[in-house]
Structure 1
């Protein structure tokens, strides 16, 4: 039966192939091939039904081989799963190690950033303290300089006040008040020289006379100014003796000009105290002075 089934099935395949070829060639007999092929297929199926099923059952050896093959496949599958699990575990371990490494690096970076931030903050705080210190030092320095300047200004003012209150300064003010601060010729200070010896009470004065229309008016103006100076200094009891030299621009016969002394007058304290300045006539200067001299030009 097995043989018939096999032959019938092979015949079925051959007839089907031939039938399709005949049909392709448009041969009218191709239907016979298909009919015979169907018949052979039916024979093959019927033969199959009558085949003893036990012949298709595996033997003990085949079963053992199949079981062994099954066990082998199960073992291989288990080994494959173990290998896969091991691989997965290794990959997981590597992933965890990588993640741990990244986390460690991140933590290290975070610590580094925090350290840098703290250092930056400490630096800023230090700079702030340094700036405050410098500002404080600058302020203290400025205050010290201001205090020093105020002290110097105060000392200077005191010195100036003291100087203004000095006898030399009072004499200078009295002379400027009478003869003017500037002379009539080069517009410089009218006082040429002023010196006072405190120990001896001796005052020496050289001053420019003032110009006028005539020689006589110049001389008379000199007497008037000298009288004013003496009146302003009458209360200066420290002055015991006064020498006054009056300077005036002169020109010799060769045309040479020079500032010469044209009048010299000396007074002692005793003589000054005798003068009643309320009634004194300035033209008496030559008569009351302890010593008197004027240039011959004033004799004309």
Structure 2
């Protein structure tokens, strides 16, 4: 009796239907031991199960994809919210910092509204004696030299260089400079830090060869103590040479 090959046996056919149904169906239809009705029923059951299984897998895949998209969108949303929150925090910190700086600046201004500076000195002097001396700036240069007194309190020496204004005679030019000095000294000494004020005037002089050059023609120095002893309302400006702590006058002013 010839032995039946294992792949034609019922148990192998059933195994293939369970494990890999396409092969199982082929073996089932090739095996004449199975009735036609049985083969049809089994085929229908296998096809239905396959369709149901495929549909279920598609739904699961779609759900996974949707969940993944949702997670990505949520992550982007969280990232966007985080960036916006971070931006708001940075802006808040900047605003607080700016507010604090303005507050500190305001406090300093209120604390010392008359703080001495070159800019404030130039403006004050220009208000007193004008901005121009001919075609030149009236105030040529301002220097502030910081020192301290015996009690270690801050003191300043103020050096102011001006350009003299031209006039009909040398004496009238000098009188114009005296008038400027009479206005500038008391104004600068209003600041309590100022201990010494030096005013220097430059004026164009013509040498023997006919060349013009701006040179120092007058210098007056006053100490705070001297300034406090002067009654500026009754002061005769022609006495600067007598009361100044230091006085220099170029001979050309006496011609």
TM-score by length of 2: 0.70
Out of 175, 179, 189, the position equivalent to 2:125 is 175
**Is the counterpart of residue 266 in structure 1 residue 221 in structure 2?**
yes
Q: Kindly tell me: are residues 101 and 247 of structure 1, through their superposed partners in 2, closer, same or farther at Cα, counting changes over 3 Å? A: farther
In the other structure, the counterpart of 1:208 is: 162
Check the 8 A contact 1:202/1:239 in 2, yes or no. yes
* Partner secondary structure for residue 262 of structure 1: strand
What does the per-residue CA deviation read over 1:96-136, in whole Å, with 9 as the maximum and x for residues that have no partner? 32222122111111111111111111111111111111101
Q: Which moved more, 1:268-277 or 1:136-145?
A: 268-277
The structure carrying a bigger strand percent of its residues is 2
Partners of 2:165 and 2:145 in 1: CA distance: 27
Partners of 1:183 and 1:90 in 2: CA distance: 123
Check the 8 A contact 2:178/2:237 in 1, yes or no. yes
In the other structure, the counterpart of 1:10 is: none
Partners of 1:279 and 1:127 in 2: CA distance: 83
Partners of 2:73 and 2:36 in 1: CA distance: 54
In the other structure, the counterpart of 2:180 is: 225
In the other structure, the counterpart of 2:253 is: 298
Gaps of 5+ in 1: 1-82
Q: How many equivalent pairs are there?
A: 216
By how many angstroms is 1:265 displaced? Answer: 0.4
The structure carrying a bigger helix percent of its residues is 1
Check the 8 A contact 2:140/2:163 in 1, yes or no. no
In the other structure, the counterpart of 1:101 is: 50
Out of 175, 183, 197, the position equivalent to 1:242 is 197
Q: Which has the higher contact order (CA 8 A, sep 6+)?
A: 2
Check the 8 A contact 1:206/1:247 in 2, yes or no. no
Gaps of 5+ in 2: 1-31, 150-154
Please, what is the CA RMSD of the aligned residues? 3.0
Check the 8 A contact 1:179/1:209 in 2, yes or no. no
